[in-house]
Chain A
Amino acid sequence: MAGDNTDVHHHKEYTGSLTEPEDSWAKQLFSRRLIFVMGKGGVGKTTVSIALGKAAVRYKKKVLLLEIGDTDAIGSIFNKKILTEVPLKLSANIWGARVNPKAELTAYTKAYVNSGFIANRITKSRLFDYLAEATPGLKEVMCLGRIWRWERSKSEQLENTFDLIIVDAPATGHALSLLRLPDVLINMIRGGPLVTQIRRLQNLFKDHRKTCILLVTLPEELPANEAIEFYCLAQDELHMQVAATFINCVYPLLFDDGDVLQIKHMKDQHDKNLPNPHHAILETALRQIKRRNIQQIYIDRIRSKTTSHVKEIPFYFTNDLSLSEIEELL
């Protein structure tokens, strides 16, 4: 029957669906240490982060999925509890954690203040709470510091280390201020151990062999424009590399121009009669053609305005992708 060829089965060895250039592209992508998955709210960053993690595992990587936004989605998708700052094993070679800036700041202060007595006094004081909340960017710096420490842990050969850290970033605005922060802070803070650490972060983020950004977007006006804008910012201002732009929820391209003419003709025939199944089917097809045409405008725009690898992720016609469906996305 007609629908059979839409059910793709590739659970076993995952090699078949990747073409050779894609395969070498993926190899290169997963040879990095740090991937920031960025995009506007609602474009599917979390789903793509998980799909990427799953794909990286196929390339023999041990992956840490890092949640730094304000929602706890990753844990529940894996049917596990809400992630904490301690990495939790989610599935084979995939771990998940959440950055907790306050805990990080506490640990950091204890590490840098020599006297344990004073360090305790600091971290337990209301002043500390206050500074943690109110100091511009301090929480974000702690977030970044945590990422950096996980990155470092591999070369320092600590017990739980990861080949690849995938950061499910908050929505673009916040994520942008996060990535801008090292540059901003270098100008703000004149001295102290934080400056040294921020410089290291800067170096890590701007090292294209180690760190990259993956943009996730939709083939719609706002997300597409925002992605293009962010792409330019990343290149010109952040000097970070955008390794790819993933266009999510792309409708299948089924009908050619001849089909469209035929459908319109058939619909005209039926319009003369009462609504019937034919009408609903034809109407649905025309709507989807219209939608797909609009999507193409934004796909073309993204392709023409970015020089990074562009990948279209097909729409699955469901609100709740299962974990195995997510695995098949990339």
Chain B
Amino acid sequence: MIDRISDPDGPKIIVCCGSGGVGKTTLSAAIGLYGALSGKKTIVLTIDPARRLADALGLTDFNVDAQRVPIEQISDITRPFDGQLYAMMLDPKRTFDHLISRYAPADLQDIIFKNRYYQHLSNNMAGSHEYMAMEKLYEIYHQDKYDLIVLDTPPSRRALDFLEAPDKLLNLLGNNFFLKMFKPYLHAGRFGMRVFNILAFPVLRAVGKVIGSQVLDDLAGFMQLWNDVLFEGFSRRAETVKNLLSSNMTLFLAIATPQHLPMTEAVFLYEKLRQNNMPFGGFVINRVHVGGGNMAIIDTDRLGMAELFHNESADPKLTEKLSITYKNYQKMSESDARAINALIKKIGPSVDIMQMPIEEGEIAQLNDLVRLSRRF
């Protein structure tokens, strides 16, 4: 599934979705590296990498520009290649600010930055992270500088959030919806912005009484600016990105670990994509305790550890510990296998499922990413 990247006519955008804590960021980096090693100029857009992974990718807190990853320094790679890898950290607040300074008229920028509603929206509002990831994707795609974009989606408990959030946000800030709805309640105020005419309307007066009239004023001010200055551009870009994500240039990957919640979320994502005819690449099940292959299934009870190690000088306490450890591992690998079989049963045998074996060490070096990417 991921090997489709190496095809010159393969996907140009890989979107890694999955609930929090399944290893999306690390896998995105490994997928990016795979793209680079197959000769493509690749960029990984990432959200919150672990410190050491960020260091390996050359990312720091204060830099939001694309960073070139020095993959030529990777010792394991011998064959010549002309791919390049870039990484970029997504920061919603900065992205939002950047968009405002780019698209809003200079005299209004300050008013926007100081609006408390804007401050909240750019930092905290549900959906703003996802929305910003979309904006960044739009920007990078239209720069046309890269052959492949790998997008690590924002951390969230629900894998679907990335797909739904921008729509939700746009509906909320929908085209002129605000003005239509509020027209009767607005009157001309300071700075040419309309302000709620609270006194005149019992409904708003009551709402104002509950949430405070200051909030309504801030909201009105922001919405006014949004409508006059920003909405058209925002919604046009969001529409473009949506089309892009639905096209065959994109491939969505559902990333999960074998636990119940991440698996359920991954299946939801898959179903949602299928309903909307969006391009689904497959499931990547991360951190699988592999039972078969080079890990032999050994019945330590039947075999008897003492017998197994009979000609060793190992003391019986040690062989007992070894037996416990091996049994634990077997128990875990059986649990993982059950989870994966349940997934296959649910989605049918035709959908790609890739299993990534658990790494006992940390993925903190480029060499570790190379090792991961070899499994693709």
Q: Is the C-beta of B162 less than 8 angstroms from some C-beta in chain A?
A: no
**Residues B40-57 near A (CB distance < 8 A):** 48, 50-52
Q: Is the C-beta of B99 less than 8 angstroms from some C-beta in chain A?
A: no
Residues of the B chain whose Cβ atoms lie less than 8 Å from the Cβ of A113 = 206, 209-210
Which partner residue on chain B sits nearest A130 by CB separation?
B181
Q: How many residues of B contact A (CB 8 A)?
A: 79
Contact B172 A134 (CB under 8 A): yes
Stretch at the interface among A29-37, A50-58, A183-191, A233-241: A183-191
Contact A177 B124 (CB under 8 A): yes
Q: Is the C-beta of B214 less than 8 angstroms from some C-beta in chain A?
A: yes
Contact B212 A288 (CB under 8 A): no
Q: Which listed residue, A171, A190, A319, touches B157 by the CB 8 Å rule? A: A171
Q: Is the C-beta of A86 less than 8 angstroms from some C-beta in chain B?
A: no
Q: Is the C-beta of B69 less than 8 angstroms from some C-beta in chain A?
A: no
Smallest Cβ distance from B148 to chain A, in angstroms?
25
Cα–Cα, bound, A183→B155 (Å): 25
Contact A170 B157 (CB under 8 A): yes
Contact B120 A137 (CB under 8 A): yes
By CB atoms of chain B within 10 A, which of A189, A262, A283, A317 has the most? Answer: A317
Interface size grouping (class) on chain A: 35 or more
Contact B335 A319 (CB under 8 A): yes
Contact B211 A317 (CB under 8 A): no
Residues of the B chain whose Cβ atoms lie less than 8 Å from the Cβ of A173 = 155
Q: Which listed residue, A6, A109, A317, touches B335 by the CB 8 Å rule? A: A317
Smallest Cβ distance from A290 to chain B, in angstroms?
5
Cα–Cα, bound, A71→B125 (Å): 18
Residues of the B chain whose Cβ atoms lie less than 8 Å from the Cβ of A317 = 328-329, 331-332, 335
Cα–Cα, bound, A195→B215 (Å): 12
Q: Is the C-beta of B7 less than 8 angstroms from some C-beta in chain A?
A: no
Smallest Cβ distance from A299 to chain B, in angstroms?
15
Cα–Cα, bound, A222→B314 (Å): 38
Q: Is the C-beta of A194 less than 8 angstroms from some C-beta in chain B?
A: yes
Residues of the B chain whose Cβ atoms lie less than 8 Å from the Cβ of A275 = 294, 296
Contact A122 B155 (CB under 8 A): no
Which partner residue on chain B sits nearest A190 by CB separation?
B214
Tell me whether A192 and B20 are in contact in the complex, defined as CB-CB below 8 angstroms, given that A135-B219, A319-B336 are known contacts.
no
Q: Is the C-beta of A280 less than 8 angstroms from some C-beta in chain B?
A: yes
Residues of the A chain whose Cβ atoms lie less than 8 Å from the Cβ of B325 = 254, 281, 284-285, 288
By CB atoms of chain A within 10 A, which of B158, B207, B214, B332 has the most? Answer: B207
Cα–Cα, bound, A126→B173 (Å): 14
20 A-B contacts, Cβ less than 8 Å apart?
Answer: A1-B301, A3-B324, A42-B22, A71-B158, A109-B210, A130-B178, A136-B219, A171-B20, A171-B156, A189-B214, A190-B213, A221-B362, A223-B21, A266-B309, A281-B325, A317-B328, A319-B338, A319-B339, A320-B259, A320-B260
